[in-house]
Amino acid sequence: MALGLAPQPGHAQQANTTGSTVATPGGGTSGGTPADGTGAGTGATGNTGTTSTSTTASTAGASASSQPSQETAAPATADPSKVSTKTDDVQETKEAANGATDPQKAPLLVPGGAIDGKLYPKLFQDKFTDTATARGLLHWDVELKEDERLAFSYIVPPKQGIQRMDSTLQIIPFIIDQEGHNCVAQKSTDQEDNTNFAAPFTGYISSPRVGGQDQECKPGKFKVSLERRGAIEPSMEIPFEFMLWKVPRTSEEPTAAASTNATLTTDDSPAVPLTMADERKNAKLIGSGNYSGTLEPNKLQWFKVLVSEGQRLHVDVNASPIELERNADTSQPISLEWRVVGPTFNPVMTTGTTDSVPYDNVSVSSKQAVGIETVTNPIQWPNLEKEQGSGVGEFLSGEQWVALRYYRPQATANTQPLKFTISLAVSGTPLSVPKFVDNLTGQAATDAKRQEAVAEESQSKTSPRFMVRSNSTPGQLWTWAMVAAIVASIGAVGGVGILRGRGKEVSLFH
């Protein structure tokens, strides 16, 4: 696992999320404002080299050190029996979610959840259209009962043919109740603040458990929304996928892994060719080891790595020097990008093993090789209950998707592929997986069992089943125009939750 030259920092250190906050149409807040500066993270941007820092108040949650101690360890082995979910033989059952630009016409979607102790997220697909406009917003409705908690995660991959983008291109998720409360208790997003769209946008948010004496977010219908901010030209369709599921409780308290950040001993075995796929759903499972490959300019590639409960994933990346064609445009950064994405599209942060700074890219050079050794936090279910600190959102063990992309602006037919090597390993002793308490009933449970029967016929007995069922029943009409006004009032309320991607804080209400 050779270390090359220092790369550019990637996404920002995760911070905390606050509870729900009442937002008024005029942009004011009541009941505790996120505009007072809390909730911002500490981190560094990618290619701009700037940093932003602010503090957060301490809140309850599973503890993990932001500056873990170091120790040398031999590579561990992932245990397939000790994972929360498995995706290698997932039935990719998905339908168009048909998100509405008018909040009052949002379709009702039925989220997944747990049944028979298994997790069944529901997988949906949709698309942004008319991207040359400054912003686009899609809405869906979800019903939540007392004590239910909703998880919403998404992935928006880059698309070929993009010629220009606004410097503020962002993807922003929302969960808003019928009274206009911001119902986001936990958030982890990978948000770009530059013009490249170099890698997929990924993000995860979850609501608090609704109801209860001290909870502003009450049972009923909730508006789940995804917003694009910043124009993309020429105008095109940008497809994306997202998952909805009710977060189950566990029958016993899961064990949390130690915070020690193990530095692996060097593996000098020869690199073998890396098998990659053009589409996420076709990604192959790759074991620990040293790999080599080439990447065509701006072509997104995928593979998967198994990480057991409580283990860390080590990703060490090295990019060879590139050959620049004559009169090549180097005014924009040229980079090798990578993203680790959890089974439910939840972002998984990779940080430097020596400095604990988040990295998700290296700036490629024509003169010398560049590289970095990175490692994730322990991937474990207790992170789902954390409100701040490292590891927020990195909660689902199993097969983690890894995306690679050689970002080369103004690439031509003469642009050469990028040669690279990547070393993969896991560390840590696998822990017991959480025992989920069933929370699907009625038609949702029937759908889950039906999907499981179909999957078993395909010899896929151990994986979670992704189910999709669209329901356009209008239900009770509320004053969603007020909600739309809240979302549309740009900059009205300060940031809530944790953002990572480029060290920027973005409000949930703009």
DSSP string, 325-385: PTT---SS--EEEEEEE-TTS-EE--EETTT--B--EEE--SSS-EEEEEEPPP--GGGGG
Q: Which pLDDT does position 262 carry in this prediction?
A: 59
298-307, 371-380, 449-458: least confidently modelled range: 449-458
Q: Which pLDDT does position 92 carry in this prediction?
A: 58
- Per-residue confidence band for 213, with pLDDT thresholds at 50, 70 and 90: confident
| pLDDT greater at residue 18 or residue 314 | 314
Q: Which pLDDT does position 331 carry in this prediction?
A: 75
Q: Which pLDDT does position 43 carry in this prediction?
A: 29
Instruction: Read off the pLDDT of each residue in 302-330 and give the average, rounded to a whole number.
Output: 91
- Per-residue confidence band for 265, with pLDDT thresholds at 50, 70 and 90: low
- Per-residue confidence band for 86, with pLDDT thresholds at 50, 70 and 90: low
| pLDDT greater at residue 31 or residue 119 | 119
The percentage of residues in the chain with a pLDDT greater than 70, rounded to a whole number, is 67
Q: pLDDT (tens digit, 9 = 90+) per residue, 112-159?
A: 999 888 898 999 999 999 999 999 999 999 999 999 999 999 999 998
97-101, 195-199, 332-336, 457-461: least confidently modelled range: 457-461
Pairing of strands 95-96, 122-128: parallel
Q: Distance between CA atoms of 185 and 190, rounded to whole angstroms?
A: 17
107-116, 157-166, 235-244, 404-413: least confidently modelled range: 157-166
> In the predicted model, is pLDDT for residue 54 greater than 50?
no
The phi and psi torsions of 19 (rounded to 5 degrees) equal -80, -165
- Per-residue confidence band for 85, with pLDDT thresholds at 50, 70 and 90: low
The phi and psi torsions of 152 (rounded to 5 degrees) equal -135, 120
pTM of the predicted model as reported, rounded to 2 decimal places: 0.76
| pLDDT greater at residue 259 or residue 203 | 203
> In the predicted model, is pLDDT for residue 229 greater than 70?
yes
> In the predicted model, is pLDDT for residue 237 greater than 80?
yes
Question: What domains can you pick out in the chain, each with its CATH number?
Answer: 95-249+437-459 (2.60.120), 272-427 (2.60.120.380)
Q: Which pLDDT does position 469 carry in this prediction?
A: 31
36-40, 213-217, 372-376, 461-465: least confidently modelled range: 36-40
Q: Distance between CA atoms of 393 and 382, rounded to whole angstroms?
A: 10
Instruction: Read off the pLDDT of each residue in 313-332 and give the average, rounded to a whole number.
Output: 87
Q: Which residues contact 358 (CB under 8 A, 6 or more apart)?
A: 9, 10, 11, 12, 13, 43, 44, 349, 350, 351, 352, 500
> Please, what is the average pLDDT of the chain?
74
Q: Which pLDDT does position 62 carry in this prediction?
A: 31
> In the predicted model, is pLDDT for residue 97 greater than 90?
yes
Q: Distance between CA atoms of 502 and 215, rounded to whole angstroms?
A: 32
Instruction: Read off the pLDDT of each residue in 80-103 and give the average, rounded to a whole number.
Output: 73
Instruction: Read off the pLDDT of each residue in 390-410 and give the average, rounded to a whole number.
Output: 91
- Per-residue confidence band for 96, with pLDDT thresholds at 50, 70 and 90: confident
Q: Distance between CA atoms of 158 and 27, rounded to whole angstroms?
A: 32
Q: Distance between CA atoms of 497 and 505, rounded to whole angstroms?
A: 9
* Residue of 279, 307, 303 lying closest to 94 (CA atoms): 279
Which range is most confident: 188-197, 434-443, 451-460? 434-443
Q: pLDDT (tens digit, 9 = 90+) per residue, 326-365?
A: 777 777 789 999 999 999 999 999 999 888 889 999 999 8
> In the predicted model, is pLDDT for residue 503 greater than 60?
no
